[in-house]
A and B are shown apart, each in its own frame.
Chain A
Amino acid sequence: MIEICALTKSFGPKQVLRGVDLVVPSGKSTVIIGGSGTGKSVLLKCILGLVHPDGGKITLDGQDVTKGEREAFLTRFGMLFQGGALFDSLPVWQNVAFRLLRGSLARPKDEAREIAIEKLRRVGLGADVADLFPAELSGGMQKRVGLARAIAADPEIIFFDEPTTGLDPIMAGVINELIREIVTEMGATAITITHDMTSVRAIADRVAMIHAGKIRWEGPIAELDTTPDPYIQQFIHGRAEGPIETLR
């Protein structure tokens, strides 16, 4: 279980997180929604230690994430980045098996390649893409390779940063299904950031909305449509009118 308590973060004069409190239960898929620039990605990066928060506390199974051995901590995580963040200089299979070729999870190259090809198959890609370079793949294929990399070492916790952004609706549906399957089959704890309400409904067990640097609402997916919260209602129905200010 990940517990986030009173988390704050500013970039210069801009205060992005103003005291975020959130509990992410183990083995569940939590989706964080919210407008652009509300700090969703910053929140994930704070959990991973990629961004240092100004205040507050994050614990994983009761342990402060800023303490303890860093590699062991990161080994528990997998992350799918918004743009894929594949390494241009490495072929696809080495991107997927990156963690399996180095560090504490290192194993023989042939075995790592086999696992990479299996993970590629798991996300619907054939062995023929294994030796291609990321630049030779379409956007949807890059997302799938990123997904294969995120699950390559069977992590306990997986983060998905806008997994369907920039994809056509069919490919977005495929990615949503894959994420749901992976979370269910692996029993992993997942946090997904998205604006896409179709994705929210396909992926989420729980939903949290971040607004003005704080968690505005959180609850089970079943309550999302029935909650009277005007912020949630404006967001999920995509209304221009409402309490969330829009620039025109």
Chain B
Amino acid sequence: MNSASLTAPLASLGRATLGLMAAAGRLAMFAGSAISHLFRPPFYIAEFWRACLNIGWLSLPVVGLTALFTGAALALQIYAGSARFSAEQVVPSITAIGMVRELGPVLGGLMVAARVTSSIAAEIGTMKVTEQIDALTTLSTDPMKYLTVPRMLAATLCVPVLVGIGDIIGIMGGWMLGTSRLGFNSTTYLKVTWDFLQFWDVGSGLVKGAAFGFIVAIMGCYYGMNSQRGAQGVGRATKSAVVAASVAILTVNYLLTEAFFSA
């Protein structure tokens, strides 16, 4: 076996790593540029409100339904597990902490990524391949300011609100199941939940929501702006945006959990 065949896998690994690092660098520069434009006029207020409507208000049903069934399923699982140790009374508190710290923000973020990242990437990708982005530039309008900044700001502000609403609906899902199927007293269930939760349990979830909202918008805009030509190019950009946003949400979730709650 010659040396070339021995080093070929290493060279391939090196190229892949370099490619990944370059892509991460381009993404980081894009995000940095978007943040810097946030503080420089002009500001497109109408675009911001339109993005809030699309990202926040119209995502409410999907986030709410996800939270409702997740809360109910979580309560059922915790009940089944805790019953082995005759510790069923922990169901309200563990359901609440599971929802507000982890499942509310993560599942909310993933559902918004599926709905919003794909929509942003497809919309901006189509604008790119039909020369609408070039048209914006020729009309003296910076596409970064007009398309990316309003969406980024709207997602960063709206997703925590969605997470907060999802938390409440998720806890209500657990409460409905607990009181209707598991024999919990309604008032007691809610009192235990309220007494157990601390400010930072909820606050950490909302901070995660803001981070996930930023990721959702940046991934959609970045992949849309870099879409290749044709329907296939837009399709590939949309798929890549959703995959990248989902992986980034799960990665950032772990890092934030380490930062907030590691001993």
Q: For the complex, what is the distance from the CA of A177 to the CA of B131, rounded to whole Å?
A: 25
Q: How far is the CB of B116 from chain A (nearest CB, A)?
A: 16
Q: Is the CB of B132 within 8 A of A74?
A: no
**Proximity string of chain B (85-106) to chain A, C-beta cutoff 8 Å, 1 when within and 0 when not:** 0000000000000000000000
Interface size bucket, A side? 20 to 34
Q: Is the CB of A71 within 8 A of B135?
A: no
Q: Is the CB of A79 within 8 A of B130?
A: no
How many residues of B are counted as interface, with CB atoms below 8 angstroms from the partner's CB atoms? 15
Q: Of all chain B residues, which has the CB nearest A87?
A: B132
Q: Is the CB of B140 within 8 A of A85?
A: no
B180 sits at the interface (CB 8 A): no
Q: For the complex, what is the distance from the CA of A1 to the CA of B254, rounded to whole Å?
A: 59
Interface hit among A24-32, A96-104, A121-129: A96-104
Q: Is the CB of B139 within 8 A of A99?
A: yes
B142-195 interface with A by 8 A CB criterion: none
- Given known contacts A83-B131, A85-B132, A87-B132, is B138 in contact with A50 (CB within 8 Å)? yes
Q: How far is the CB of A25 from chain B (nearest CB, A)?
A: 22
B77 sits at the interface (CB 8 A): no
Q: For the complex, what is the distance from the CA of A105 to the CA of B141, rounded to whole Å?
A: 12
- Given known contacts A102-B42, A103-B42, is B131 in contact with A71 (CB within 8 Å)? no
- Given known contacts A81-B131, A85-B131, is B42 in contact with A48 (CB within 8 Å)? no
User: Which residues does chain A contribute within 8 Å of B135, judged by CB atoms?
Assistant: 79, 81, 85-87
Q: For the complex, what is the distance from the CA of A165 to the CA of B86, rounded to whole Å?
A: 77
B82 sits at the interface (CB 8 A): no
Q: Is the CB of B134 within 8 A of A102?
A: no
A93 sits at the interface (CB 8 A): no
Chain B residues packing against A (C-beta within 8 Å): 42, 44, 126-127, 130-132, 134-141
User: Which residues does chain B contribute within 8 Å of A10, judged by CB atoms?
Assistant: none
Q: Of all chain A residues, which has the CB nearest B134?
A: A50
A160 sits at the interface (CB 8 A): no
Q: For the complex, what is the distance from the CA of A121 to the CA of B135, rounded to whole Å?
A: 22
User: Which residues does chain B contribute within 8 Å of A98, judged by CB atoms?
Assistant: 139, 141
User: Which residues does chain B contribute within 8 Å of A81, judged by CB atoms?
Assistant: 131, 134-135
A59 sits at the interface (CB 8 A): no
User: Which residues does chain B contribute within 8 Å of A48, judged by CB atoms?
Assistant: 137-138
Q: Of all chain B residues, which has the CB nearest A79?
A: B138
Q: Is the CB of B140 within 8 A of A104?
A: yes
A-B pairs with lowest CB-CB distance, top 9: A85-B135, A85-B131, A74-B140, A79-B138, A71-B140, A81-B131, A99-B139, A85-B132, A50-B134
- Given known contacts A83-B131, A85-B131, A85-B132, is B138 in contact with A102 (CB within 8 Å)? no
Q: For the complex, what is the distance from the CA of A105 to the CA of B136, rounded to whole Å?
A: 15
Q: Is the CB of B141 within 8 A of A102?
A: yes
Q: Is the CB of B130 within 8 A of A103?
A: no
Q: Is the CB of B132 within 8 A of A77?
A: no
Q: Is the CB of B132 within 8 A of A50?
A: no
Q: How far is the CB of B146 from chain A (nearest CB, A)?
A: 8
Q: For the complex, what is the distance from the CA of A75 to the CA of B140, rounded to whole Å?
A: 6
Q: For the complex, what is the distance from the CA of A88 to the CA of B127, rounded to whole Å?
A: 9
